[in-house]
Amino acid sequence: MIVEVLAVGTEMLLGQIVNTNAAEIGGRLADAGLDHHHQSVVGDNLDRIVAAIRHAATRADVLIVTGGIGPTQDDLTREAIAAAAGVGLVFDEAYAAELEERFAQRGRQMPESNLRQAHRPQGADVIPNPRGTAPGLRTKVGRMWVFAVPGVPAEMLPMVDEHIVPFLCGLEDLGPSVVLSRFIRTWGESESRIGEVLADLYEASDNPTLAFLASAAEIKIRLTAKAATRNEALDLIAPVEEQVRARLGSRVFGADEETVERILFDLLDKRGWTIATAESATGGMIAARLTAVPGASAYFRGSVVAYDVDVKRTVLDVPDVTIDEFGVVSEEVALAMAQGGAGRLGADVVIAVTGSAGPDEQERPVGTMIVAVRTPDGAAARTLRMPGDRERVRTYTTTAALHLARLAVQGAWWRDDRENIWVRR
């Protein structure tokens, strides 16, 4: 059974809101073992919505439509489904009375426009919506089941969970009923190089399948298996995961929800250490990543955003002679910032960053970023050359700084550039 998702709303095409509904529905379909091949977005135009529904009918067994069933003139999903099915709209007197009663219970007079929500395509069944005034719909366009639900996530998701997915799972024996993904997290290598290293596995394996996902300078390898049970899916993934880990070695740092921040906190917990940041070019982005993790207060002491050189001198105690001799964008200043941060914030581990993030050059070429990490075992700094615009430089540097701190706390410290591998000192 192939399921497709169609989101209706011009606001998504204009970039005014993000279509998070498709991702939420996709996750639920995967959990139910339902194949999900396409997602589409269409604006609030009757002819285009009808065309999108008819196109879905050429390749899908089920279409879930989100949005366009409200009370205003631009809510056209009911009319579009009826047109695609070749039927008219009928007025549901019972639901109209229910709507009027719901407004009366809240002491409000129902606007006349809400009666639009009592219309439905002929032959369609109503999906109850206790959280809103727009009922969902279930009908057929040709051989394809069509479900229409509100675009508001708080109304839509319970309807998908309680009505649509159970209905689909009960239609027939679906065979394998679990689609499970496992994410292997890596850092320190490009997406293209990882793709080359794993090329034969990608070509040879169809269950599980492999995919490569780049995000903020980390590369995730997604292994997705379909099986009758969760354990059987994990059994399919295990041997392929073993090969991925063996080939990528120390570039693998975690899996699934094991983010670098969580791993760093686990390492700090084992050592009984705390952490802080002293940031210039990243402007507090590292601290924000760390404090976004629940429970961060057990490890995170604080942050100094020393953007101006005078703040580096007066708050972080960076010596004038160091700044004058080496410049602000230097490993020596980064190390001094880390040392000063440890003293001022009382932290065992300090991540310090200085650099030239752009768009204007500051002492060094744009993209030159310096990360220093101080631990009770020592301190080291690393000069990075980051590509892209200002935001990308800062984002990539934030990720790199967290990984350099992870390695420092582990005692692995930096990298041998000639070998392009991490080495323990």
Query: Quick check: 421 pLDDT over 50?
Result: no
Q: Please state which of the four CATH numbers 3.40.640.10, 3.30.465.10, 3.40.50.300, 3.40.980.10 is assigned to the domain occupying 2-169.
A: 3.40.980.10
Going along 80-216, which residue ranges are E strands? 89-91, 119-121, 125-127, 136-141, 144-149, 178-187, 209-215
**pLDDT attached to residue 102:** 80
CATH class entry, domain 178-254: alpha beta
Query: At 413, is the pLDDT very low, low, confident or very high (cuts 50, 70, 90)?
Result: confident
SS (H, E, C) 191-204: HHHHHHHCHHHHHH
From 56-65, 134-143, 168-177, 258-267, the region with the lowest mean pLDDT: 168-177
Query: Quick check: 378 pLDDT over 90?
Result: yes
Query: Quick check: 105 pLDDT over 80?
Result: yes
Q: For the residues 315-319, what does the mean pLDDT come to? A: 97
Q: For the residues 340-369, what does the mean pLDDT come to? A: 95
What's the CATH code, domain 260-422?
3.90.950.20
Tell me the pLDDT tens digit for each residue of 157-181. Answer: 999 999 999 899 888 655 556 888 9
Select the more confidently predicted residue: 215 or 274: 274
Q: Are the CB atoms for 350 and 334 separated by under 8 Å?
A: no
Select the more confidently predicted residue: 303 or 189: 303
Tell me the pLDDT tens digit for each residue of 283-295. Answer: 999 999 999 999 9
Q: Are the CB atoms for 328 and 363 separated by under 8 Å?
A: yes
Domain ranges of the chain: 2-169, 178-254, 260-422
Query: Quick check: 423 pLDDT over 80?
Result: no
Query: Quick check: 367 pLDDT over 90?
Result: yes
